[in-house]
C-alpha cells in the first residue's frame, strides 16, 4: 500500500486511535527509564523518532521488523538452550529454493539482523 489515499487512511486511523498521545506517553516513559539507566534522553528520543518514521512510511517493513524482534526476544528470554538461533529464525521454505551461494548470503544477512536485534535488546534491558 503506497497510494496517497492509503497514507491518508492510516493517518486518520492514527488520529482516531490516539496514536500520537500514546507515542508521547511512551517517549516520556522511555526517557524516565533512560535517566535511571544513565542513557542519554536525546538518544532515546532519536531512536523513537526513527521507529515512528519507519512505522508511518514503511508500515509493512516495520511490521516485519517487529515480528523478527519479537522472535529474537523469545529466543533470548527462553529457558531452553538454543544452539543455532539463526536456523530458528530462518524461513525454511524460502531457503529450500536457494542455491548454496544464495543461502550463504541469506544467512549472513539474517545474522546481521540478529546481531542488531540482540544489541537493541541488550541496550533496552541492560
pLDDT at 111: 93
Query: HSE-up of 120 (CA within 13 Å, CB side)?
Result: 17
pLDDT at 1: 45
Confidence (pTM): 0.60
Give CA–CA dist 71/83, Å, rounded: 15
Identify which of 8, 40, 45 has the alpha carbon closest to the alpha carbon of residue 24.
Answer: 45
The SS3 assignment for 70 reads: helix
What confidence tens digit (pLDDT) does each residue in 81-122 have?
Answer: 888 899 999 999 999 998 999 999 999 999 999 999 999 888
Give CA–CA dist 1/15, Å, rounded: 19
Amino acid at each position: 500500500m503506497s497510494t496517497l489515499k492509503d497514507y491518508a487512511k492510516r493517518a486518520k486511523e492514527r488520529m482516531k486511535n490516539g496514536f500520537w498521545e500514546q507515542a508521547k506517553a511512551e517517549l516520556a516513559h522511555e526517557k524516565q527509564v533512560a535517566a535511571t539507566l544513565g542513557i542519554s534522553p536525546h538518544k532515546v528520543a532519536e531512536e523513537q523518532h526513527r521507529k515512528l518514521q519507519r512505522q508511518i512510511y514503511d508500515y509493512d517493513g516495520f511490521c516485519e521488523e517487529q515480528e523478527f524482534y519479537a522472535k529474537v526476544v523469545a529466543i533470548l528470554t527462553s529457558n531452553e538452550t538454543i544452539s543455532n538461533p539463526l536456523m530458528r529464525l530462518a524461513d525454511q521454505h524460502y531457503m529450500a529454493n536457494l542455491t548454496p551461494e544464495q543461502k550463504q548470503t541469506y544467512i549472513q544477512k539474517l545474522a546481521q539482523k540478529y546481531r542488531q536485534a540482540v544489541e537493541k535488546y541488550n541496550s533496552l534491558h541492560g
